[in-house]
Homo-oligomer: A and B are copies of this chain.
Amino acid sequence: MATIGDVARVAGVSRSTASYALSGKRSISTEVRERVAAAVRELGYTPNAGARALATSQTMVIGLLAQFLRDEFAPAMMQYILGVSDSARELGYDILLVTEEDGTRALRRITDSRMVDGVVLLNVAEHDDRLDILRSAGQPGALVGLPGDPRGVDVFDLDFEATGRLMVERLHRLGHRELILVSQPEHVVERGGAYVWRLRNAAVEHARQRGITVHAVFGSSQQPHIGAELNALLDAHPDATGLLLNNEAAAAALPTVLHTRGLGSPGDLSVIGRYSDEFAKSFSLPFSFIESAPDRLGRMAVDHLVRRIEQSNEAVGGHVVRLVDPEFVDRGSVAAPRAAATGHGR
């Protein structure tokens, strides 16, 4: 490979002049600039990234720590990764993808060895061991997922409490008085998946304030089981007119369950899910839902991270916790309950 020394020699200038001609960091005569450009073309010169990183202390690489947890919907992770990767590239950064089981060790490795200028953590838990490592690292970090203690990092997440309230409010206004909420499995909560109880608690509390009932349960994340559970729930609560889903597997299983029971939506049951548009498309789900916006969250995290990397801390300001407002995507599965509309039970 050609080096900048080769470029300099061919162009008949010094290495520093060649470097400045390429970076534009000081004024260069037109003639020299063109000679350098010609030499670059002739030699097919591309700067050595490692050498540049060593000289500038900037790698132009962002570390992306994905975490694949048991019983979480793995394909959904792809969306976050793409959001992060695509927006990083637009800003001139490449992505070092780390899928190691032991996230703390991996995080320490890539920050201590200065492989990256900053780090995005995915799937952050309520108490996440990676945060201590990150806070003592020399590089800034952005999280997707709200931890219990967000000090020293920038956080981006869907506002799951507002999501819970919105789901309940929407149905309450239409006259629903008895709802079912199916969350992720309980061990997702135990492992620190705080978004599960944030949505759940907010929904339950909001229902209480409105004086309506919500049967809140944890569902399985595997397809055969969750189908049976949904059936059992519908049997147990025949007067429920609304179904809220914070559980991808439940959403995927529901069409078959409804079909088997001969139920229509929203005719017999109003349904609101919480998942991504991409997920809805893959499974062609016919339900209205709250968009979980993985690409948008990934993008926000990267944008902010890059500002922290490139600007002074004073310019960027204090650390932020940015919770995205839930967006209701109407697919027509929500309506007034039969009981309220016609005066008959269903």
Contact = CB atoms under 8 A, between A and B. Distances in A.
Given A256-B256, A259-B256, A115 B94 contact: yes
A14 interface: no
Interface stretch (A4-12, A96-104, A325-333): A96-104
Interface in A274-324: 278, 281-284
A81 interface: yes
Nearest to A77: B78
A113 B53 contact: no
Given A78-B74, A138-B1, A114 B284 contact: no
A260 B255 CA distance: 12
A89 interface: yes
Interface residues of A, number: 51
Contacts of A112: 1, 44, 46
B256 A48 contact: no
Interface string A61-79: 1001000100001110110
Contacts of A278: 74
Nearest to A284: B223
A223 B282 CA distance: 7
Interface string A216-232: 00000011100000000
Given A100-B89, A282-B75, A114 B50 contact: yes
Nearest to A226: B284
Nearest to A94: B96
A95 to B, nearest CB: 5
Contacts of A267: none
A93 B219 CA distance: 38
Given A54-B54, A94-B115, 20 more contacts: A1-B112, A1-B138, A46-B112, A49-B115, A50-B59, A50-B114, A74-B78, A74-B278, A74-B282, A75-B78, A75-B282, A85-B98, A89-B100, A94-B98, A94-B110, A95-B96, A96-B96, A96-B97, A256-B256, A256-B259
24 contacts: A1-B114, A1-B138, A46-B112, A48-B54, A49-B115, A50-B53, A50-B59, A61-B96, A64-B97, A68-B82, A74-B75, A74-B78, A74-B278, A81-B99, A82-B99, A85-B97, A86-B99, A89-B99, A94-B110, A95-B99, A97-B97, A222-B281, A223-B283, A256-B259
